[in-house]
Amino acid sequence: MNFFGDFWTTLLDYISQPGRILEWVNTFVTMVIILLVARISVRMLKRVMENRIQPLESLPDNDPKKQRAKTLLPLLENIVSYLVYGLAIVLVIQELGVNVAAIIAGAGIAGLAIGFGAQSLVKDLISGFFLLFDGLIAVGDLITIDTHTGWVEKIGIRNTQIRKFNGELRTIPNGDLQNFGNMSRGFVRAIVSVGVAYEANIEDAMAVLRKVAVDYAEAHQELFLEEPKVQGIQNFNASDVEVRVVLKMVPGNQWNVERDIRRAIKAYFDDRNVEIPFPRHVVYVRDESEWNNDIDTADTPEEKLPEFEELAAQGELSADDETIGVVQNELRRLQRRIEWLSGKFKSGGSSSERGNKE
């Protein structure tokens, strides 16, 4: 108890010394001013960056300049906030009389130790830096990563977020973005495969498909980069011949174009009563009597009992001799059965030949 009492007494005496209160007030006011200046600076810098991107809002969403600006703006805002607030904290600590150089040196050593222990984090940070530096993806791009396809919503130094078609938001570490596909750069192709019946004239079917595709392209010239092409027969399926139409176009609308082309082809076929093929199965119906495999043996001559069976019945044969005799007996019966059947077939054939001659 005496220790704590002496401590508080010494502290109060130190604070209550002449000039100490004014010194603490000046330190507190300085700290508040530093934090206010930092906050105002961050807001002003963010406002400047937002004003720089404002003229790009009128551009299309897939414009490279607009995509790059939307990608870098959140990142630059975070970097500015970290730098300004970090500098403000250092100045505040210095106002409290703490040796800032010693803290920075200790933080450097601690950061080195953390870097060795968090290699995956370092990998994500480096990968994110090069993704942004190279401009491989941007906010608004449609990309495929493994089995996930979605639109990029945010690119950070460590993570990238994509929004799938079903609304799922997936967060992927930048270190995992090693193999991905970008369907928002350059051009894409809308591919429409149509099944044509085997009975149909393929040349006429291809002409119909070409007309539908060309008419649609002329009505939407801003979407297409080349004239549509009918590539011909793509495959022979079980019930149809597959013909493919390819349309080279700007990215972003290929799925809508494919649906519109299919709807136009269906309407064209319906107007001209063109039948769209469907799976077919050929069924053969047979009378049940045709599948009767029973052999009529009513007039088969009765066989005599072999001598070995008589000897076996009298007990004059050994077990091995009896087995051999049974096998031989069965072979003889089978041979006589085959001879009798062949005779029946020959007699039936000769009678049918006589009927044909008559």
**Where on the phi/psi map is residue 97: left (φ > 0), alpha (ψ -120 to 50), or beta?**
left
Domain spanning 188-271, CATH architecture: 2-Layer Sandwich (3.30)
- State the pLDDT at residue 18: 58
Distance of CA 118 to the CA centre of its chain: 30
355 pLDDT higher than 50:
no
* Strand 142-145, strand 148-155: pairing: antiparallel
Domain boundary assignment for the chain: 2-117, 134-182, 188-271
User: According to the 3-state scheme, what is the secondary structure of the chain?
Assistant: CHHHHHHHHHHHHHHCCCCHHHHHHHHHHHHHHHHHHHHHHHHHHHHHHHHHHHHHHHCCCCCHHHHHHHHHHHHHHHHHHHHHHHHHHHHHHHHCCCCHHHHHHHHHHHHHHHHHHCHHHHHHHHHHHHHHHHCCCCCCCEEEECCEEEEEEEECCCEEEEEECCCCEEEEEHHHCCCEEECCCCCEEEEEEEEECCCCCHHHHHHHHHHHHHHHHHHCHHHECCCCEEEEEEEECCCCEEEEEEEEECCCCHHHHHHHHHHHHHHHHHHCCCCCCCCCCCCCCCCHHHHCCCCCCCCCCCCCCCHHHHHHHCCCCCHHHHHHHHHHHHHHHHHHHHHHHHHHHHHHHHHHHHHHHC
Q: Out of 36-45, 112-121, 245-254, 349-358, which region has the weakest mean confidence (pLDDT)?
A: 349-358
Check pLDDT > 70 for residue 245: yes
Q: What is the pLDDT of residue 157?
A: 76
Calculate mean pLDDT across residues 321-329: 63
Quote the mean pLDDT of the chain.
75
Mean pLDDT of 21-39: 81
User: What's residue 288's pLDDT?
Assistant: 60
Describe the crossing of helices 20-53 and 64-95 by its angle, rounded to 10 degrees. 180
Strands 241-249 and 229-236: antiparallel
CATH class of the domain defined by 2-117: mainly alpha
**Taking the domain 134-182, which CATH number applies?**
2.30.30.60
* Rounded average pLDDT over 260-283: 79
Exposed, middle or buried by CB within 10 Å (0-12, 13-18, 19+), for 83?
middle
Please answer whether residues 306 and 325 qualify as being in contact, where contact means their C-beta atoms are separated by less than 8 angstroms.
Answer: yes
CA dihedral 64, 68, 71, 72 (to 10 degrees): 180
Q: How far is CA 184 from CA 143, 164, 179, 217, 248, in A?
A: 8, 15, 16, 20, 13
Q: Is the pLDDT of residue 302 over 70?
A: no
